[in-house]
Amino acid sequence: MKNITEENVPETFRNFQKDFTVYAPGRINLIGEHTDYNNGFVLPTAIDKTIKLHFRANNTPYTCSVYSKTYHKSFSFDLRKISRSDVDWENYILGVVNEIQKLGEYPEGFDCIIESDLPVGAGISSSAALECGTAFGLNELFHLDLSRQAIAELSRNAEHNYVGTKCGIMDQYASILSKEGHLILLDCRNLEATYIPADLEGYKLLLLNTGVSHSLASSEYNTRRKECEEAVKLISVAYPEVKSLRDVNLERLYEVKDSLPEQLYRRAHYVVSENDRVLKAVEAIKQKDLEQFGLLMYDSHKGLRDEYQVSCKELDFLVELTTEYSPVKGARMMGGGFGGCTINLIEENALDEFIKIASEAYQKEFGITPEAIVVSPEQGTYLKKN
Ligand code: GAF
């Protein structure tokens, strides 16, 4: 791996004649957090911040070179000898190539330059964008036969096997299968997607980036997943038909309460309630009842903070702040937790004022200015020739 400055860009990447550029977006999630790996419901969509991957086939059978302008680093690998790297970001690419090979598809040598306006560690899934963008590009470059859904799944597998986060499918699915102006109600049990028009007239979606990304995120994530599996095991003693928390409703959960340790009960209670909230939120959007939608966002945050315990003081501060500012109808932490962004549903004409209030208060409390990003539902991964 080389440290790259403007002067020492490796020969391969100078005067780079690309075949095409893939635009791989980050995602937001309106509601339905930590439900995907429990076979539940989520409500994400892609945004207009993307990772751009400039690809070209290099007419060699096995040699691949990748240069990240974000990390100022490049690396090369041989398609016959792919294994995990000690460098985190390389694993997203190596993992994807390896998962494609496992499916019996064989990319050939390629070069790729990566640049991005997606902040890393902000909980808007730059990792899924990098995975899906890589797979999408190789699919096009070598005429592989991968559907968008297959790309989402193999990208999720790459994250499990190469990066080590046992994530669900939401991020990859949203990055590659979103449609402009729509939210995806995704049933993660069977990957059935319903596209809901994101009719937010008069309102905007605002992300506030805490600027922190606590290091326990990945390990705690895997622990939560294990806790949910453990809860399912215990519940299935009385109800063998229960295969995931998706198969449990609040009534049944209450019945088995005494057979679950307190902590597992709280985790399960959060997941089961959150699944309900997603469906109620979709109804609220359809009815144009954004006040109700906002209340569900607040309930979601409370559950993530108190029952699922994946929030942190910076996220809680930003959500709490909104409760004293009526043009914000709802707010909650978004994504895996322990840092990253809050998502806020706010009256359009109050945007500037609120960003100012939130920035000053956060700066005073934590000494940093939170980045404010106004987002709207955009299309999933796409390609441009020039
Ligand atoms: C991360 C994961 F990658 C997703 O699969 C999802 O579980 C999310 O956290 C929490 O909802 O983004």
Does one domain contain both 159 and 286? no
The Å distance, Cα 372 to ligand 1 centre, comes to 21
Q: Are residue 147 and residue 210 in the same domain, yes or no?
A: no
Residue 10: give its domain's CATH number.
3.30.230.10
Q: Are residues 130 and 221 in the same domain?
A: no
In short, whether 37's Cβ falls inside 6 Å of ligand 1 is: yes
What 3-state class would DSSP assign to 138? helix
Residue 334 pLDDT class (50, 70, 90 cuts): very high
241-260 confidence digits (pLDDT tens): 999 999 999 999 999 999 99
pTM for this entry: 0.96
Q: Is 335 in the pocket of ligand 1 (CB under 6 A)?
A: yes
Taking all residues of the chain, what is their mean pLDDT, rounded to a whole number? 96
Number of domains in the chain: 2
Residue nearest to atom 2 of ligand 1 (CA): 167
Contact assessment for residue 348 and residue 311, using Cβ atoms and an 8 Å cutoff: no
Q: What count of Cα atoms within 13 Å lies in the side-chain half-sphere of residue 196?
A: 23
CB neighbours of residue 238 within 10 Å: 11
| Distance of CA 336 from the midpoint of ligand 1 (Å) | 5
Over residues 18-52, the pLDDT tens digits come to 999 999 999 999 999 999 999 999 999 999 999 99
Domain of residue 59, residue span: 3-197+379-384
CA distance 166 to 84: 16
Indicate which CATH number applies to the domain containing 210: 3.30.70.890
Q: Do 175 and 260 reside in the same domain of the chain?
A: no
CB of 34 within 6 A of ligand 1: the answer is yes
Q: Are residues 310 and 251 in the same domain?
A: yes
Alpha-carbon distance 92 to 172, whole Å? Answer: 12
Q: Residue written as tokens 């986060």?
A: 165
Residues 188 and 208 in one domain: no
Measured CA to CA, the distance from residue 332 to residue 315 in angstroms comes to 8
Residues 257 and 164 in one domain: no
- Same-domain pairing of 189 and 211: no
pLDDT at 340 over 80: yes
Q: From the CA of 33, give the closest atom in ligand 1.
A: 11
pLDDT tens-place string over residues 359-369: 999 999 999 99
pLDDT of residue 2: 57
199 counts as catalytic = no
| Residue 326 CA to ligand 1 centre (angstroms) | 29
Task: Note whether 280 and 372 are same-domain residues.
Answer: yes
Minimal-distance CA residue to ligand 1 atom 3 = 167
- Please indicate, yes or no, whether residues 321 and 236 belong to a single structural domain of this protein: yes
What is 11-64 written as a DSSP string?
Answer: GGGTT---SEEEEEEEEEESS--S-GGGT-EE-EEEEEEEEEEEEEE-S-SSEE
Q: How do residues 103-144 score in pLDDT, each as one tens digit?
A: 999 999 999 999 999 988 889 999 999 999 999 999 999 999
